[in-house]
Structure 1
C-alpha cells in the first residue's frame, strides 16, 4: 500500500471555493490561503442558527501501535456524506512538535485523510505561529516591566508565564533569563510547547473577537509581593495580543480525499489543556451541516472528559452520540503484550485488554449520551479476536459495535459505522454533567479520578497545597478542573497500562488559567515541553527537487 503522503498526492484537491459552496458559504465569507485552503470569516456566521447534530469521537488510551482516531473521524464524515446527509468534520491543528518528533503527521491516514496534508501538518495558515508570537510578546512585556521598575510589584518567584515554542525541545524546559548587567533581573524560567499555552486555550474557547479580548485581559501572569494576581489587563497589552490573533480566530476550511468539508482550528493538547478544536470551529460546523463530527485528543480519560466538562459549557451543545475507537492491537498492548508481538493471535490477551475499553465505555456512558464502539480494523486482525470484542460490547456492555476499515477502503469502510452512529443520534437522552461548577475543587478532582479513571484518591504536594490555598482565596475554585497527566495510562504513571484500580493520582501543583476559564492540576511527571525521541520523525522527512515533501505519514 502507498504511504499516506503518496496517497494524498494522488488526489487532486477541488478549489476551496467549490468546497465552500457545498456548505453554503459565499465568496465574501471566505478568506483564501491559496487554492486548496481558506479561512472562514467567523463574524459572518455569528447570527446563523445551528441546524446540526454533534458527534464526538474519542478512544481508549493510546498505544505505540496507533489507534487511528482521526482516520475513523474522517472516514465517518466521508461516509455520512455518501449516505446523502451533510456532514462537516471539525479537527484540531497538528503541532509541529509531534510532527517532527513521534507522529510524523496528524491528518488521518491511508484513504481517510484531510488535504493538503503537508500544509496542515506544517505551517498551515499560521495560527499556531500567531499564538506563539502573542504568548512571547506577553512574556517580553512581563520581563520589560520588571526591568523598567516593576510598578506592579510582581514577585519574580511567582511568575506563571513562561515562553513557548511549537517544537519538542527538552533543552529549553529550564533556562535562566536576564543574564548580564543590562538584560533585566536574572531569574529562572523556561519554555513550554505552544499547544500548552493559555493563549491557545483562550483562542479555542472564545466565541468571537470581543470574547477573545475579554479572556486575554483576565489571564493571570503572576502574583505580586502581596500574593495578589497580576493580569494582562494590569499590563495593558490585551489590545496588542488581540491584534496579533485577529486573523487566527477565523477557522480554516479544507477537504478530505473524498472532498468532504473539514474545519480545522486550534490545537491544545489533551494531556495538558482541554484537547479539542475551537468552539468557533465546532459551532460553524453545527451551523453549516446536518452533522458536525469532531474529535477530542488522546483517550476519553483526557480529551473526552475535557470535551464534556470544559468545552460543552462554553459551546452550549452536548454531543448527540459518542464514538469510542479501539483496535485489537491496542487491547493486546494494554494486556501486556510486547509491541513486536501484537500481530500474533492472542484471544486471552484481547479479553484482558477489554478491561481498558470497559473503563472508557463506562466513563463516557456516565454522561448519559448514546455510545458507539468503532473497532479500527488492521489488515492482519484475526476474525475471532474481532468477534471477542463485538461479543463483549454488544452482550456485556449492551452498546452498539461496528468495524471501520476506512484506512484501506475510504468512505466504504465506514458506511456501516455511519449508519449506526446516525441511528444513535436519534436516541435522545439527557446530558448529565460529571460535576457542578460550585462543587469544591477537591470534590471535582476526586470525581474525575473515581468516575473517569477508575482510581481511588489523590494527594497534593506541598506546592500544590499552597497553590490551592491561593486559588480559593482568589475565588477561582468554581472553575472546571483540567487534570494534566500522561495519555498512556489511566493513572499518572505512563508505564501502567490496562485498567488498574485503587490507585492514587499525585498532583504536584495547580496552575490557574483564568483567561481560559479552568484550573490545571499537574499530575505525575507530565511535561509542558516534550522532547524528541532517539530517532525523531524529522529524520524521515525530505523535499525533492520539485519541492514535493516526502516522509510525512
Structure 2
C-alpha cells in the first residue's frame, strides 16, 4: 500500500493558472509561487465580491483520539465528491504549523486519495505566511521593549506587559523567560515568554480581517501592556500597525492550490482550535463563496472547540450563515472513546462502539443548538465491520441524523459521492436557521459559563477573583460585547484529557484570561492548556531527513 507522500508525489498536477481559470480567475489575478501554487491578488479579492454567494458546509468531528478521525481527509474528499456529482465546489482549510509536523501530529493536507497538493510544500513553509505572522508579532514585541528602553514616555509598567513573543516550533523551555539581562544597554529586564505562532493574536487577526484596511485597524487595536495608572497601551500607541501591515500584506492574500482530483483549494491561516479559534481565514472562505457553488471548510479538533468557535466567532464577525454541517467519526475512534485499548482497536466490538457513541451523540446534540442541519460521516477503514457500521447508523437514525459511510481515503471523490449527495440535499433544503450560542450583550463571565455548561456539560466554571476583576475591567473599558475563545484540551469535554467519552457535572477551571482586542475576542485558558506546546519523548523531527534529495520521515 502506498503512503500518503508517495501518492502525493505521483499526482498529476495542473498548472495553477488552470485551477484559477476554473474559478473564473485570470492569470493577472494570481501571484504564482512556482507552477502549482499561487496567491489571489488584493485586486481580485475586491472584484469577486459582486458575485453570488454559494452554499457553506462546515466539517467538524468527534473528540480527537489516537486512532484518528480523518477530518481533513473527509473535508477534501467531500469537496471532490461534490464536484463528482456536478456541484462546483472549493475546499478551504488551514495551513500547517511546523510545531506539530516536527512534534507528533504529522501533516495537515489530508490523506490517501483525498489530499491537497503539493503536500510537502504545504507542510513546510508553504508561501511563508507563518513566518510573516511571526515577524509581525515579534516586531511589535521589539518596538514595545525599545520604547521602554528609550525613556518610556507612555509610562508603561514593565510588570504589566502582556505581549509575549512567538515562534513556530514546539519549545517548552521558552514558556517562561526573562529578557534584557546583561546590563542597562540591553533594556529593562522583565519576565515574559513565548507562545507558538498559531496562538498569536496576529494570526487570529490575519484570519478574521476582511481587507488590508481592516487588517491595519485590528493590528492597531492590539493591547500590549498597561501604564502605571492601568491605562491600556495599544500597538497604535507604539506606532507599530503600519510596519506590521507591511509585513503581512502578502500573507493576507489567500493561497490557491488543488486536490489530487484537480479541484480548487484555498489553504490560508493557521490558528489552533485548542488555544485559538481554529479556522482558516475569513477572506479565503468569503472569496471561495463568491467563486463556487459550494465551499467546504473545516474547524479544528472536535466540535466542542473548532465548530463552536466557527459559529460563535467567525460567523459572528463575517456574517456567514452555514447551510450544512458534517460531523466526522470513525469506528476506531468510537472504540477508543468506548475504552478499548489501542492494541485491540482492530477487533470487532459492537458494544464498545456503541459505548463510544456517547461522545458522538453529545456532539450531535451540541451542533443542533446552532440550527444548522447535520450529516454524520463515517470515515471508513478496512477493519470496520458491517455490524459496527450498522450499529452507528441505527443509533444516529434514532437521534434524527443520517450517518453515511464514506470511503474517500481509498477511492477519492468517488468514495464520497453518497456523502456529497446527502450534504447537498440538506444544504439545498432551506432547513438551516443559524443562530450563535449566546448574544453579544451577555457578560463575559456568562459567555464563558454558557459555553462550559451548554457545550461541555459542566456543572460550574471556576473563575478566580483575579479573573473576575479582569473581565469586569474589560467590560468597563468597552470590550464586554466580544465573544469568548475557550482554550482547553482537545481530548475531552472537560479540562482533563483523560476523561474521554461524554462526562457530565464537572468543573471548568479558568486560570487566566487574555484580551485579544484586535482579533475581537477574549481567550480563557482552562486547566493546564499551554499556548506553547512541548515536544514528545520521541519527536518526529528525529526521523525527518533527506535521501537523494527527497524528504523522508515527514509522513
Q: TM-score by structure 2 length?
A: 0.98
- The aligned counterpart of 2:144 is 142
> 1:71 is matched with which residue?
73
Structure 1 partner of 2:28? 28
Q: How far did 1:349 drift?
A: 1.2
Query: Please, which of 519, 543, 546 is the counterpart of residue 546 of structure 2?
Result: 543
Query: What are the superposed Cα offsets for residues 452-487 of structure 1, whole Å, 9 maximum, x if unpaired?
Result: 112221011243233223222312121000011010
Structure 1 position 133 matched with structure 2 position 132: no
Aligned length: 551
Q: Which residue of 2 aligns with 1:15?
A: 15
Matched, 1:313 2:333: no
Farther off after superposition, 401-410 or 262-271 = 401-410
1:516 corresponds to which of 515, 519, 522: 519
Residue matched to 1:457: 460
CA distance in 2, matches of 1:427, 1:50: 18
Match of 1:527 in 2: 530
In 1, Cα distance between equivalents of 2:390 and 2:532: 41
2:514 is equivalent to residue 488 of structure 1: no
Secondary structure in structure 2 of the residue aligned to 1:234: coil
Q: 1:165: which partner in 2?
A: 167
Looking at structure 2, the residues matched to 85 and 327 of structure 1 have their Cα atoms a distance apart, in angstroms, of 26
Question: How far apart, CA to CA, are the structure 1 residues paired with 2:279 and 2:258?
Answer: 19
Q: How far does the alpha carbon of each residue in 1:279-338 deviate from its partner, in whole angstroms, 9 at most, with x for none?
A: 100001101110000000001000000000000022212110000001111111112211
Residue 442 (structure 1) shift: 1.8
Aligned residue in 1 for 2:158: 156
User: Map of 1:351-500 to 2, 5 A cutoff?
Assistant: 351-394=354-397, 396-428=398-430, 429-500=432-503
Residue 250 of structure 1, CA deviation? 0.1
- The DSSP-based 3-state class of the residue aligned with 1:501 is coil
- In the aligned structure 1, how far is the partner of 2:450 from the partner of 2:86? 41
Deviation for aligned residue 1:552: 2.5
Q: Is the 8 A contact 1:359 1:453 kept in 2?
A: no
Aligned to 1:174: 176
Matches of 2:117 and 2:359, distance apart in 1: 33
Report SS of the residue matched to 2:160: strand
**1:159 offset after TM fit, Å?**
1.2
Matched residue, 2:99: 97
User: For the residues of structure 1 that align with 2:349 and 2:464, how far apart are their CA atoms?
Assistant: 42
- Cα distance in 2 for partners of 1:153, 1:132 equals 27
Deviation at 1:408, TM superposition (A): 1.1
How much has 1:106 moved relative to structure 2? 0.9
Q: Which residue of 2 aligns with 1:328?
A: 331
Measure, in 1, the Cα distance between the counterparts of 2:43 and 2:65: 40
Deviation at 1:529, TM superposition (A): 0.4
Alignment of 1:187-266 (within 5 A): 187-266=190-269
Supply the distance in 1 between the matched residues of 2:285 and 2:230 (Cα, whole angstroms): 38
Equivalent position SS for 1:309: helix
Q: Deviations over 1:336-356 (max 9, x none)?
A: 211222112211111111110
CA RMSD of aligned residues (A): 1.0
SS of match in other structure, 2:393: helix
Contact 1:50 1:283 in 2 (8 A): no
Residue in 1 aligned with 2:350?
347
TM-score (norm 1): 0.98
Residues 110 and 178 of structure 1: CA distance in aligned 2, closer, same or farther (over 3 Å) = same
Separation (CA, whole Å) in 1 of partners of 2:310 and 2:196: 21
522-531 vs 441-450, which moves further: 441-450
Q: Residue 144 of structure 1: CA displacement?
A: 0.7
Provide the rounded CA distance (Å) in 1 between the counterparts of 2:42 and 2:335: 44
1:38 aligns with 2:38: yes
- Cα contact 2:273–2:279 (8 A) shared by 1: yes
Deviations 1:425-450 (A, max 9, x none): 01213212211000111221121112
Residue 116 of structure 2 aligns to a residue whose secondary structure is strand
Alpha-carbon contact 2:316-2:436 (below 8 Å) kept: no
Query: Secondary structure of 1:235's partner?
Result: coil
Secondary structure of the corresponding residue to residue 463 of structure 1: helix
Which runs of 5 or more residues in structure 1 are unaligned? none
